[in-house]
Amino acid sequence: MVDTNRQIEEIKGRLKIIEQKLEILTENREIYLTLDVAANELGKSELTVRRWVQEGKVSPVLTSKGQMLFTLKQITELSEELQVGSSYGLKILYANWTREAPERIAFPKNRYNIAKSMMPGMLCLVYLTHPIKRIVTVTEITGTIETGAKRWPDQEREYPRWPYVVPHKQILGLKEGLTLKEAGIDFRPRPGDTYLKLDEETFNRIVNTLKEQPDYDWCKWLEMYSDYCESNTR
């Protein structure tokens, strides 16, 4: 008699090994970006990136024709450095954060430097991604990733893609919110984006607008949205 459960467990085990190998290959594969693409990824001009090259801030690979190529890892690390060092920022979170883990703020495993830079007293606007796509509240960081690791020791096991967490406290309730365009922020979040540094003036302007808005039950809205999507895919 075939032991189906045993076969299923063996298949799961093999799939896990394959996933781990794919992850290692992906992390170690070098992806090169041209100057214009690198500048676009950083949100800077090509002239600025050229200046950084001259200053030794980033070192490109030169082709035989003198074209500059940058590794994706270089640009990712440089992007992280640009986001560190401000007391004000915009934290990008999945919309279901409001229901699953509102007591903590998580960072992906390839954004350690940004997560490490989070310190008590820092203030963050919270932007919820699809399907909400709005800045809905403001929160204050109350601990470091070391604090988070002690408070939620199972985070890395339960959410391997989001192993770094910091505790926080919401300063406002969940508001009706603002789109990035309404907030006057020229930024389009892409996969992997998790934090955007803001200046104090921009931050305070957005917070004052949110304070004037009524509270909104985004958790209930998400439930209704899910029900609507399910009913329209049957």
**187 inside domain:** yes
- Encoded amino acid at 208, one letter: N
CB 168 within 8 A of CB 104: yes
Contacts of 155 (CB under 8 A, 6+ apart): 104, 106, 148, 149, 162, 163, 164, 165
Residue 143's closest CA among 181, 171, 169, 177?
Answer: 169
Domain of 105, in residue numbers: 86-223
- Say what the pLDDT of residue 167 is: 97
pTM to 2 decimal places: 0.70
Q: Which of 68, 83, 98 is the last residue of a domain?
A: 83
Low-confidence stretches of the chain (pLDDT beneath 70): 1-3, 12, 15-29, 83-85, 227-234
Number of domains, the chain: 2
116 & 69 share domain: no
**135 inside domain:** yes
- Say what the pLDDT of residue 181 is: 95
- Say what the pLDDT of residue 79 is: 75
74 & 103 share domain: no
